[in-house]
Structure 1
């Protein structure tokens, strides 16, 4: 609440400045505190113009930030004073956005099915996942509640021991030739002084609980990802068969055809998920309605709540391992580029020597010609021309320096990035193996010891491969260094020059030069390990070394005795594949346990112009001081979950706007629990009002953005309003008539007893807006008590829903 007051005071001071004089002009047109009819207006905090229309918007739950997607495909984050924090243009069209509960990351769904996690500070993509195959339609990020209870004893406690033994995990190195990324940490956080931008930040601090990103796509597939990056559950609503027994005792099965997700939400105890989707319902294989409808599916996700501690620990370890594997792969690419640039320059120069030999009629290789110079001390005319004219002393020094620099860069990447990453991977896989042995708790979430053992063995072998590569780089670079020193001496002798006293050259071991020319000059063992990931490539291993590996294997510790025949690139590929197999198991094990669903038809859209409806779904927290809610809980009524949706029964804009609200709709978690009966209410607006958008608000309130019809022109261009309705004051009724396969939708169930309630401007808390061309989306911040309203004329208005203009004017006086 303190941060909210600071934001309001700061905005109030900003509004009094000359730069925001336009806001005062807007309010003067409608009176200081009341309009012509005496209706109070909300406090207007901001009035700004927009370069493009906004199609998607979301408030940050913990900070004064607003994320928007515009018609020109930009993803923008603004501060509360409308100062732009950052803006990016994604490669694919953005279809859904959602903030992480702590407000430090933004999940962005795209039309191609990918989901990107953006850093709140600078918009950098922290992680990108290909979770879906088609467009992502909805996102919802749920966090484990503080007062969540356990069904079992508190025996599972998580402690991340990695920081005890290892320094902070390495970051991927920069690709050579690319500009280094700007480090925001040297300036401090632009949004949170205590937070960094690290999963670099996609996973939360270990002190926090589990959070799950729920995403739904156009094909009705719902995916659940721990910390937004680790898939732990998948539900296909098109393949979901809902079995139940009707009032006559007949067993029925229902299934949605052509389902498409509209909204998804997950309760704070992680045991109940609600999906609103479109589709055609079939009962026992036969369609029961003429066209598509909007349905609500409630799914029992108790496995997530009961095993949240196990899932959280596995997710943290897996997320860290996947980040470190990215470090390995990026480091390998960086090393390969460093070495390829240096070795390509050497080969390019000596390819010119080959051409010179052919021009002089010599059918020998450069390697043989150089060995002849080494053994006989005599250079052919072609070799003399190559060394004296083509190369020169400066060219030899540049080649030697390029190889030496590449070697140093590669050793630096190995020491600072790859080796620390491999060590932490081994440690974390060891932690997971230890957890996997607790089968009673971890087997239910898919942690399998055999798969972890296989990944751990390859990760251990990777450490050996890194040590071998470090030795190979050292030996190969030493060979090149001796070779270039020998060439430089040979060049000076051919030119009859004495060695410079200011630049003395070291003594050269002719045996080392001969060994280099016979082995590493043509074969290039470094490139063999960096760029060859094909399984057909085999590294030559001495027979005595292979026999030693087999003897060591008989003593235990590992099973693969031929791992030295693989290259480093192949070993990293093996580690990646084994980890993917082990980490995919939880998704396969948890997904079938998302069960006991139930289905209800919200409204039949066969006659509607479109099946796309405005929908808002949330779970209201149970508070100790909420007496009304406590009474409902005593009666067994689940009043914490609400689904609100809007639909016009036909394509005519003159028809009244109809709003439906459903609460307490969920499957039974056990046979011991009391039978839960869902409740609902349907109401229509006064015929002179049209609803533009809806949004559930804090303390179980509903916010409506409505426009009044102009009585003279008959067009929807009259006064616009924000209406706040208290949900607990609406006449909810139990859906006793609901049964599986019922063709009657939610509205028709009410009409059998009474007509839908009619709502006018006299109901609830109503405030007039100074503009009439309001359009969706309506953005409401429950944590800040703010509403953001957009107009078709590309303007944005920010209102304080907790403060009236009259109260604000009294405070100013």
Structure 2
């Protein structure tokens, strides 16, 4: 009814900005919402931490509940997967089609507060004209990668759903490997993790461990951000920079006679903005004669110890492509071993349930023999004992023997199928990909810089070869054991027929010698299961001296240096391979993590609480645009034409005398580099004063340098639920104030700006002049007026989040009375949708 009245009002008043698409009720309050970047889909998280996916027409596609508190979500750049951050530090990937979990990794130990997934800009060659292409040759020699075998006992509907999930995961892996992309995640303890394709962990940095050499309180000192909690991360389009918003306490670090003292004489608690150099993801940086900055103190200024990029940006892509595929195949091996273990255990349980009754009968009859001895006596032609006769004729019987034989035979066939179709192909592809990585590791000029260690890869290659031989041995053992069971059952079937005085001419023949071997070595020893188990000691499997001697001789011809591997089980060998693989790729992880460092820092505003609360809720948005900063466009770098906007609302608790203010900073990414190269500063800032009578609920940077503000009208009475408004303004048209630096490259200096602190004292205001600009100068604040901007009235009181889609030109607003409203932000988008 309200929607119809609003539409009638629009008709009477003429054109009103932002056409209302629909206004619908929702069952739960929404705390997080994100538009799919490629599809008309909106992912929402309810207060109960359920994930709901809706189409643009509000058709619900699926709802899932993870049973844990969800703290952040983010779409993959192609929109085919949703990353979900949880309170326990887990990041899970979900299929867009059905919400099925595709992968889950424990990247953090505490709550994942923010996620950002960015795809690298594809370039045909580098600026020097060096073209380096790499072909993944795996598809030329192997069929498509195997999948995890399905768990036995599932009904057909479950199998179909699982097959769809596996197909989705395969499509996720394959498509994600086509373009280089990185998932960034930040937690409430100040850790930021980086994963290529959202699967392969490639780096981690802890803000607590980063030190900043800068000037505060008119002295040059080293500072650290204590009690840091990551609030928002945004990776640039070229993957060279990461802007981080983090709460924390900036404290001075004093080094006196090798003792580190965390002095708090000059500590600043608040929200800070950091710039991390992540150019390792885009460039290959070659180490020169000078050493890099020490790990424990990373300077803000890059000291020139590295040479310029030589154009090889594909190394990480290639290594991550192989490594992430190997990790997928490791999961296939794990799943295969698990299913095989269960299948064979169930079969052996059935066998022992039937045949263990013979031991009880022997005891009941007062005999001192074992089951094997009774069977051997029968095989030798002796008179059948009473317990054995009773067991074969009554307890087991012909039908029972057939049933056990069928179970063992079926389990053997299933294990053969799993090995041939899943386990063995996975191990073979693993071996091939490890071999490819071994070849890359020997190209030291390109791959040593990202930590690909030749010796570690060689060790992993040997482990992969041992694993392949273990699989081959397992197939032989399985074939022998299954055949032994079949021969044993054939003999028992003939014996049973004779005891029951029935004809046995039509029964299959048996081998008496194999029956003896079975009773001595297989009846009580499960060799198939032994190879599938992990033991603490290696010498579980016995091998003859001749085999061990041949293994020693093979070393001279390039054989494995570890000659004891055949004494280990298949499962133990796989465990050692997995450990070796993780150890080999811990080196690139550590190397890349060390090359991610803080390049610049600027405090934004204080927070009057100690320690800083991890649940700090501040509307903010970070976006990168092309050609946004006129000064930055003249700065000749590889990032030419790419600028940043940082927009945030300043809490009233920070500056009670300046309520309802939004701050905007741009040019932060290039400012320090621009100054170092002798260019003009690129950093600019401005304040926006929200109209009187309104409160800024949320905000979002939009396309073409636009900002969308969500404003609640202040209620004068408790009876009125209140109204709201959505405002859009052009950020590039605002009168930004250019910020300059003095001779000290980290000391902000203001020119011709009148400062007024409104009676509020914060030590940071007097030293970090950017903060002075953001809170003090009256000349830099712009009063917003409702009649001068594009404003849409909303007949409800609203709350966070504001979900804006730049690709579709729409905004989703959530009302306090459990309603959702979707608006068309661009008229041309609406016309295009109608045409479609």
Structure 1 length as normaliser, TM-score? 0.89
Give the structure 2 partner of residue 13 of structure 1: none
* Secondary structure in structure 2 of the residue aligned to 1:376: coil
1:168 equivalenced with 2:192 (yes/no): no
Structure 1 residue 596, shift from structure 2 partner: 4.5
Larger CA deviation: 563-572 vs 596-605: 596-605
* Secondary structure in structure 2 of the residue aligned to 1:137: strand
Give the structure 2 partner of residue 6 of structure 1: none
Alignment CA distance shift 1:651-1:680 (3 Å): closer
Give the structure 1 partner of residue 41 of structure 2: 65
1:633 equivalenced with 2:602 (yes/no): no
Alignment CA distance shift 1:54-1:774 (3 Å): same
Alignment CA distance shift 1:654-1:27 (3 Å): farther
Structure 1 residue 288, shift from structure 2 partner: 5.8
Alignment CA distance shift 1:678-1:206 (3 Å): same
Structure 1 residue 49, shift from structure 2 partner: 1.3
Alignment CA distance shift 1:661-1:538 (3 Å): same
Instruction: State which of 79, 83, 89 in structure 2 corresponds to 1:107.
Output: 83
CA distance in 2, matches of 1:794, 1:615: 21
Structure 1 residue 348, shift from structure 2 partner: 1.8
How do 1:237-386 and structure 2 match up within 5 A? 237-244=207-214, 251-284=220-253, 285-287=262-264, 292-307=269-284, 308-386=313-391
CA distance in 1, matches of 2:454, 2:706: 49
Instruction: State which of 777, 790, 800 in structure 2 corresponds to 1:765.
Output: 790
CA distance in 1, matches of 2:692, 2:719: 12
Give the structure 1 partner of residue 198 of structure 2: 228
How do 1:196-207 and structure 2 match up within 5 A? 197-202=168-173, 204-207=175-178
CA contact (8 A) 2:618 2:651 kept: no
CA distance in 1, matches of 2:393, 2:146: 46
Give the structure 2 partner of residue 743 of structure 1: 764
Structure 1 residue 224, shift from structure 2 partner: 0.8
Alignment CA distance shift 1:756-1:544 (3 Å): same
Give the structure 2 partner of residue 192 of structure 1: none
CA distance in 2, matches of 1:155, 1:247: 50
Alignment CA distance shift 1:148-1:272 (3 Å): farther
Give the structure 1 partner of residue 4 of structure 2: 25
Which has the higher relative contact order, 1 or 2, with Cα contacts under 8 A spaced 6 or more apart? 1
Structure 1 residue 658, shift from structure 2 partner: 1.2
Alignment CA distance shift 1:152-1:225 (3 Å): farther
Instruction: State which of 94, 101, 123 in structure 2 corresponds to 1:118.
Output: 94
Deviations 1:781-808 (Å, cap 9, x if unpaired)? 0000000011111111111001299x98
CA RMSD, Structure 1 to Structure 2 (Å): 2.9
Ranges in structure 2 where 5+ consecutive residues have no aligned partner:
254-261, 285-312, 749-762
Ranges in structure 1 where 5+ consecutive residues have no aligned partner:
1-21, 190-194
Deviations 1:116-135 (Å, cap 9, x if unpaired)? 01111111111111100000
CA distance in 2, matches of 1:400, 1:52: 56
CA distance in 1, matches of 2:424, 2:7: 67
Give the structure 2 partner of residue 781 of structure 1: 805
Structure 1 residue 183, shift from structure 2 partner: 4.8
Structure 1 residue 247, shift from structure 2 partner: 10
CA distance in 1, matches of 2:169, 2:263: 52
CA distance in 2, matches of 1:533, 1:706: 64
* Secondary structure in structure 2 of the residue aligned to 1:599: strand
Give the structure 2 partner of residue 452 of structure 1: 457
Structure 1 residue 678, shift from structure 2 partner: 2.0
CA contact (8 A) 1:485 1:506 kept: yes
Structure 1 residue 168, shift from structure 2 partner: 0.2
1:52 equivalenced with 2:28 (yes/no): yes
Structure 1 residue 638, shift from structure 2 partner: 7.3
Question: How many correspondences in the alignment?
Answer: 769
Give the structure 2 partner of residue 733 of structure 1: 737
Deviations 1:241-274 (Å, cap 9, x if unpaired)? 01135797x5321111100000001101111111
CA distance in 2, matches of 1:200, 1:457: 30
CA contact (8 A) 1:288 1:743 kept: no
* Secondary structure in structure 2 of the residue aligned to 1:178: coil
1:795 equivalenced with 2:795 (yes/no): no
Deviations 1:215-259 (Å, cap 9, x if unpaired)? 0001010111111111112111111101135797x5321111100
Alignment CA distance shift 1:558-1:763 (3 Å): farther
Structure 1 residue 666, shift from structure 2 partner: 3.0
* Secondary structure in structure 1 of the residue aligned to 2:169: coil
Alignment CA distance shift 1:28-1:617 (3 Å): closer
Structure 1 residue 111, shift from structure 2 partner: 0.4
* Secondary structure in structure 1 of the residue aligned to 2:208: coil
Alignment CA distance shift 1:480-1:714 (3 Å): closer
Structure 1 residue 151, shift from structure 2 partner: 5.9
Deviations 1:351-390 (Å, cap 9, x if unpaired)? 2111111110012211111111111242110111111111
CA contact (8 A) 1:280 1:289 kept: no
Alignment CA distance shift 1:574-1:470 (3 Å): same
Deviations 1:440-465 (Å, cap 9, x if unpaired)? 11111111111111111111111111
